[in-house]
Amino acid sequence: MQEFPAYGNGFRMLSIFQTLIGILRLRASPADLPTSQPLLAAIFVLHAALQVLLALQFLPVRDSLPVEALVSGAFSLLWLRFVLQLFGRPERFLQTATAAFGVSCLIAPVSVPLAATVIPKSGVAVQLSPLLALVIVVGFYVVYVNARILREAIERSTTQCLLIFLAGDLLAGLIVFGLFGDGAVPAGAAARG
């Protein structure tokens, strides 16, 4: 990542934002992001805040929501750390996690409201509709983007990375459900479609 001292931090943030858009559009890689703990911390905090704000706006309200978002996000960080260590790429953790959480921040304002529109009310069957089809397509795309981020980091097949990503999401959901019980949905899962 290039430094732009003459333009200050605003230009660097714009460049990071453009890189995250590029990752979402499948035109950039996590390697294009800076290796920065403060950047990852800022994006993690933004991710957790977005999860809570969007969930409060569009999903059933629960008192445990902020803690659920933090637990889900922390587990995702640990899962990424574990996977990268397992495949011998721990040095790619900061860029990979920044890419995953950054992409989630970009897609959440679209995916959470969209998913909330098709969540059935209690006792009502799911209705097939073009909107539901769109939610499914967005969900598959978000999973693919996350698998691609993982593929760039661990250099394995897309299929392996899809399975690893889905396993992490499933485990996060089980942990949040186990800790917070009925009605708990991992905040990250809602954002990812």
pLDDT at 135 over 80: yes
- pLDDT category at 137 given cuts 50, 70, 90 is very high
Express each pLDDT in 94-116 by its tens digit: 999 999 999 999 999 998 898 88
pLDDT at 187 over 60: no
Quote the CA–CA distance of 145 and 23 in Å, as a whole number.
Answer: 8
Question: Residues 29-33: what's their mean pLDDT?
Answer: 95
Compute the mean pLDDT over every residue in the chain, rounded to the nearest whole number: 87
Which has the closest alpha carbon to 144: 162, 164, 163, 169? 162
Q: What is the pLDDT of residue 155?
A: 96
What pLDDT does 63 receive? 77
User: How far is residue 163's CA from residue 185's CA, in Å, rounded to a whole number?
Assistant: 20
* Neighbouring residues of 80: CB distance < 8 A, sequence distance ≥ 6: 93, 96, 97, 100, 168
Q: What is the mean pLDDT of residues 14-43?
A: 95
What is the spatial distance between Cα 154 and Cα 161, in angstroms, rounded to a whole number? Answer: 8
User: Which position has the higher pLDDT, 155 or 121?
Assistant: 155
